[in-house]
Chain A
């Protein structure tokens, strides 16, 4: 059966034989993106799940040129690789980073901001599983409100993480970046299309893809794609682009599915009270008011 998305990407495997957990959303994002970018992609991965599972000498899993950067150094190493390859006369290559949520929104944000400021010709992909998963589920700046992690325990006094998710997409866009996008592995065709688009644009490109982690989220290993779809369908995440100074929604749910149902099927949210869920639902509605007002919808 013909599949438009599958037919638009390479059948080669560039990230294969790694040790990621069953149902890993991050590895799905990396695998799909490299199928778009092909053998001349040079990938940079900081400390985090993907480097931990892909680079265990002598079991090295990337069939394109790949390198681990320091935790904070994804963007700065991309900068150096791009400058170095250009200095050596190479033209046909893509420098692409795959950093997790902590590597992007926390420890790596300074270097990312610097690279965008210089408008370095790189693609930066944040695979967001909403906590430090490689170290065993600790809160990051992208952990959503209410989530239970090992450093935001849920008890009688505090119900998990008390802070909302850092808004990386708009933080990045505020730099006036040539291209930024949000995505989810639940809408893999949309993600692939955005990686394809990014690869055609000169300057810095940023894609923020939601990539569930069954281990950290408390879901079954076969629910990854389903839940990554549901987070969009329930309006708790949105698919959008920023380009030429404008925000644009790329997918509009007709009506939201239940946010409560999305939350309740995950172990990390199972403790939430009705009040907590109302906080989450209200903030979703506020966000969508903002989107209606400021995005091209």
Chain B
């Protein structure tokens, strides 16, 4: 069935189809519509779930961990300050190997106070042990909501999953979305089965302490689980295509990269505008391409290195900054290139902080400036006479 939905609503539809047994709900802009829609679904009976009105984001994730420890499929959603407030629990959930799914509406972090979209919130938590996906549009948001549980709950993975949607640009933009049937969703996503749960026949001590001799073994296993997610994501997408007919391309999505001299690497909803700009530059005879990172963790080292192995230069366009260094995505991309001894020049473009618009002409400027060479790290619009 096709409907006109916002990214938030599309994601909520995906979660309805995934049938979480416990939902812990706490409002924060621009995520709130997700928990509102889910409460309506529980009310009208289209979703059977324990809906818990928690009193903070910390409790939202703590409650989800408890539910997961009970063997239940758990969901929560947050954004920005809420993600930071629950940060302690992020590490706890991944260490406990609880395959919780959480939607994060990517939003700027205070101060200055700001509700609009950038990606500093989730990118600051790359090391928390969560799988991180970045959707481009509402359809992908819905599809990721369904796929996320299958990936997270796979026994080889057993890792929590953070599905990121750009605040407002994606969460509040309405698009045509195809909603699968419950019957299709049930064929795709089996019920959650795990041994990592409370068991009354054989009681367990969970979330224990581990000293220096054993601690790192648990950490290494969590790392292995995250690495295993790379293959599981691809397998899951193959199964998804069989049932729903939509094709996804693993950790990255390449556009015109095979013969490209210049590539922009980016993530999230800005990718469409990058592709449109690449098309326009191709008309001018410039061989431009785009790599959209779909998953920041596990990180697509090989895919990125391969896509950038033939270019003269690449740009990384991202909505975050690690103060005193550069954009976090840039750091990760450069590392991937270096691992394969890539020779291309890389440049970093920081934009969209606090929701500031990135225009088609900004992206065109990025392409043109990496052709002739520019500063290593550039802030779009700073120093162009309008501000800065």
Interface 9-residue window, one of A38-46, A160-168, A186-194: A38-46
Most chain A CB neighbours (cut-off 10 Å) among B74, B206, B210: B206
CA distance A85 to B54 in the complex (A): 17
Interface size class of A (residues with CB under 8 A): 35 or more
Interface size class of B (residues with CB under 8 A): 35 or more
Most chain A CB neighbours (cut-off 10 Å) among B74, B199, B207, B214: B207
Contact of B208 among A42, A56, A111 (CB under 8 A): A56
User: With an 8 A cutoff between CB atoms, is A69 at the interface?
Assistant: yes
CA distance A78 to B62 in the complex (A): 9
Task: Provide the main secondary structure of the chain B interface.
Answer: mixed
CA distance A139 to B64 in the complex (A): 31
A70-B58, A88-B21 given; A77·B63 CB < 8 A: yes
A42 touching B198 by the CB < 8 A rule? yes
B50 touching A87 by the CB < 8 A rule? yes
A84 touching B58 by the CB < 8 A rule? no
User: With an 8 A cutoff between CB atoms, is A234 at the interface?
Assistant: no
B66 touching A78 by the CB < 8 A rule? yes
User: With an 8 A cutoff between CB atoms, is A110 at the interface?
Assistant: yes
Would you give the 0/1 interface string for A67-88, flagging 1 where the beta carbon is closer than 8 Å to chain B? 1111011011111111111111
B62 touching A76 by the CB < 8 A rule? yes
| Closest partner residue, chain B, to A120 (CB atom) | B52
User: With an 8 A cutoff between CB atoms, is B68 at the interface?
Assistant: yes
Which chain A residues border B258 with CB–CB below 8 Å?
none
Contact of A80 among B49, B62, B200, B203 (CB under 8 A): B62
B58 touching A73 by the CB < 8 A rule? yes
A111 touching B206 by the CB < 8 A rule? no
Contact of B205 among A61, A73, A82, A114 (CB under 8 A): A61
Which chain B residues border A61 with CB–CB below 8 Å?
205
User: With an 8 A cutoff between CB atoms, is B341 at the interface?
Assistant: no
B207 touching A80 by the CB < 8 A rule? no
Residues of B16-41 contacting chain A, CB below 8 A: 21-22, 24
Would you give the 0/1 interface string for B201-215, flagging 1 where the beta carbon is closer than 8 Å to chain A? 001111111110010
| Closest partner residue, chain B, to A111 (CB atom) | B59
User: With an 8 A cutoff between CB atoms, is A281 at the interface?
Assistant: no
Which chain B residues border A81 with CB–CB below 8 Å?
66-67, 69-70, 198
B208 touching A70 by the CB < 8 A rule? no
B67 touching A62 by the CB < 8 A rule? no
Contact of B52 among A60, A70, A83, A110 (CB under 8 A): A83
CA distance A68 to B64 in the complex (A): 14
Which chain B residues border A220 with CB–CB below 8 Å?
none
Which chain B residues border A77 with CB–CB below 8 Å?
62-63, 65-66, 69
User: With an 8 A cutoff between CB atoms, is A237 at the interface?
Assistant: no
B203 touching A64 by the CB < 8 A rule? yes
B59 touching A117 by the CB < 8 A rule? no
Residues of A79-117 contacting chain B, CB below 8 A: 79-88, 90, 93, 110-111, 113-114, 117
Which chain B residues border A86 with CB–CB below 8 Å?
50
Residues of A participating in the B interface, judged by any CB pair closer than 8 Å: 39-40, 42, 44, 51-52, 54-58, 60-70, 72-73, 75-88, 90, 93, 110-111, 113-114, 117-118
A-B contact pairs, 20 of them (CB 8 A): A39-B203, A51-B209, A56-B208, A61-B205, A62-B203, A65-B204, A66-B205, A70-B58, A70-B62, A73-B59, A73-B65, A75-B59, A77-B65, A77-B69, A80-B24, A80-B52, A83-B66, A84-B21, A84-B72, A87-B49
Residues of B participating in the A interface, judged by any CB pair closer than 8 Å: 21-22, 24, 49-50, 52-56, 58-60, 62-72, 74, 88-89, 92, 198-200, 203-211, 214
Sorted nearest first, the 9 A-B pairs with minimum C-beta distance are A80-B66, A84-B70, A114-B55, A84-B67, A73-B62, A76-B59, A84-B72, A80-B63, A60-B205
